[in-house]
Chain A
Amino acid sequence: MMQSTPFNFRRVFLWICRIVLAAVFLYAGSAKLLGWGLHLHPSIESTKLSLLYFALQVDSYQLLPPWAVQFVAHTLPLAEIAIGLLLLIGWLLPLWTTLVTLLIAGFFATVVRAYLLHLDINCGCFAKPEPLTGLTVLRDGALLLIAVLMTVFAFQESRRPHPWSASKSDQPV
């Protein structure tokens, strides 16, 4: 008979982190790809327009040359959607959580730089006009903290067998 999984705070926290970050990444990627903040009618043309509009927001950080701005603007939304789905599926979790943490750390560093340089720009995080403020920095910092904890817990969980998949000899008596 199948046993119920014993309550494990670390596993529950890992689940919550996965769902929260997956939701954030899926929303961010879809918003940029489909131009949700711009109220565009869904079409290939509007997707192209939406990505070019996102390029303007990437460019406002004054960090990359124009070709790199276009590359980031056209690949980041798809990468965000892919990462969101991989976090939900849970396959090779330590790998994807590490990647998510690195990505969020990159976002955080970029946002902190823009904030310290007093660049009065839009965050561009969710493809809608959203001024980059101290709250944006705090939000990205909180997401980074969640991502770091999720990665640590994902590695710890990957080292010990799941109660459902462990053989009887592995289980504590």
Chain B
Amino acid sequence: MAHFLELRELESCLSNSEAKEVALDEPVSVELMHRLATGGRLQYFPHFPRPYFRIDHPTAWLIQGIVGSPKLRIQLFGDGRAASLERLRSLIETPAPPVEATKEQQWHT
């Protein structure tokens, strides 16, 4: 089970960017990636030298990460960003059994 270690704002070229970086205490696993994809669309690139994934949740967040890396890049959307962040923290920190994702939940590339 992973835990949040740190959350920091990421400055980018655009003033309206609200990207953040989440540091975890252990590397992101494939299981955690699938768990984070619940309710969203997962794009997974396992053929890259370090497997990259992107999760678009239409109303809550965009998550980008590398399987095997202990950090995530996130952008929160909408009015309930604080709640989304807590939900994300809960998803990361709550142990859950591996879930076989459905076709609707995933889009593997």
Q: Do A and B interact with each other, yes or no?
A: no
B residues lining the A interface (CB < 8 Å): none
